[in-house]
Amino acid sequence: MLDILVILVFTIFVVVNIKLDITNKISVTNKKVMSFYLVLAPHIFLGQFILSYFLEQSGVGRIGRGFLILELWIFVLYIGLRLNLFPIKNDKSGNTRLSVMLGGRTIMLCGLYSVVGEIIYLIVINQYTTINYLDNPTAIIDLILSFIIIAILLFNGSLRILFTSKRLGIIKRMILLFSFWIPIINVIVILYACHIVRLEYDHECYKVISNNERIESQVCSTKYPLLLVHGIGFRDLKYINYWGRIPKYLIKNGAKIYYGNQEAWGTVESNANDIKEKIFEILKENNCEKVNIIAHSKGGLDARYMISKLQMADYVASLTMISTPHRGSGILTVLCKLPEGVYRGICNLIDKYYKKIGDINPDAYISSRQLSPEYAMKFNEEIKDVSSVYYQSYVSVMKNCISHFLLFIPYLILKPMEGENDGLIGVESSKWGNFRGVIRNKYRRGISHGDIIDIKREDYKGFDVLEKHLEIVSELKKMGY
């Protein structure tokens, strides 16, 4: 009779809790449940023998003990699967990526909590019991099972974060991956990753709410279409967008986007003709009078030349230039000191490669030298702004030389020559037309020449590149462009 009563009570408890969890009436992964589960569950193998002993002492028969232990395993396994597969069921973001990412953070923290619980458990076992893990097969299996459970939690959580977080850069991902098995260091790295994920989640949730509020207003639906003009060394490729996530974000908020499609290593004159042809295509397709140009780096020089020298002022409403070297870059001053044969040899190799990927007339030698201060001086004397076109400029700056590992050396070269810079262009060189200020953040990362166009598709603390471009375009709309 006692067996039936105990089995009935425990069965009702298990079934009711699982049903309530499935129907979202309760959550078996809440903090109170997890605080006990993560300490006890890893030792279920040893615990079943301890539980069986106490049940036997309480008068529960063999069959009753067997059923109770089976149900205990079922309940523990259910919670384990629920934690690893659906750690968060009621995610307020409504975004699958964010839900998976935040779930990874939850699982990682649970894994760390289990590690702490395991350490305390082993200390207690060693100090207050006579269990010898080396001589007791049951204790050894229990220890192995505990290790597997904790490893699954940490591995599952880290994979979720590695594959979903946009704020963790390549370097941070590699550190997280390689430090995973290094004691103490891995705890610090995991806690840092969890902190980054929490910040990213909160930021993205705020962005989702903002986007939902803006969707009706179409804040980026400018009067004229937007033409994005890339810088030197890149092409407008179909599957690898030079502008990262920016175009999709602007389109989502009402913008109509086109690309310059000029050559990666074309001269200013050659690229200006390519952009001119593209503008006429856009005007015909949209039956409109003008376009707004947003140009990055050398693209700003290409666009300026096109407007002034190719009589395109009547077809351009505004030109927004981001990190454009209007007065050249000191980096070219250094590069031009290389032996002529070496410089031309490198440029010839570049030309051969870019011909294979789409450039028709690449000229790395001339196009690169068009970024020098000497060329810029002559260019500015000849190319004058047209009053009917609105010119504005922006520039970003790196915090220090370690802000961007690829621009470490260029930043150090430019710093004594031009002061604050984005790793390739100095602040003073970028000022043209209505200068809208320096884009910076107060954190270590800074904003490099590539960061400002989202080339790495990463989010940085203290700066949202997508929101910045939305702000630029929405202001153009307000101004009637």
Q: Would you list the domain boundaries of the chain?
A: 1-86, 96-214, 221-478
Cβ 466 vs Cβ 249: under 8 Å: yes
Cα–Cα distance between 103 and 86 in angstroms, integer?
A: 7
Strand (E) or helix (H) holding 437: strand 434-439
- Ramachandran angles phi, psi of 63, nearest 5°: -65, -45
Say what the pLDDT of residue 207 is: 64
Say what the pLDDT of residue 2 is: 61
CA distances from 118 to 154, 215, 293, 305 (A): 14, 50, 60, 68
Q: Which residue has the tokens 């690893």?
A: 84
Say what the pLDDT of residue 436 is: 95
| Among 382, 385, 366, 377, CA closest to 326 | 377
Say what the pLDDT of residue 38 is: 87
Cα–Cα distance between 453 and 336 in angstroms, integer?
A: 27
Transcribe 290-322 into DSSP letters.
-EEEEEETTHHHHHHHHHHHTT-GGGEEEEEEE
Q: Which residue has the tokens 């995991």?
A: 190
Cα–Cα distance between 107 and 153 in angstroms, integer?
A: 6
Cα–Cα distance between 108 and 225 in angstroms, integer?
A: 46
What is the CATH T-level fold of the domain 221-478, as seen in this structure?
Rossmann fold (3.40.50)
Say what the pLDDT of residue 350 is: 94
Say what the pLDDT of residue 1 is: 57
Give the SS3 label for residue 228: strand
Cα–Cα distance between 62 and 277 in angstroms, integer?
A: 87
Cα–Cα distance between 47 and 54 in angstroms, integer?
A: 11
Cα–Cα distance between 9 and 223 in angstroms, integer?
A: 70
Q: How many residues does the chain have?
A: 481
For 191, half-sphere exposure in the C-beta direction (CA atoms, 13 angstrom radius) is: 7
Low pLDDT (below 50) residues in the chain: none
Q: Tell me the pTM.
A: 0.69
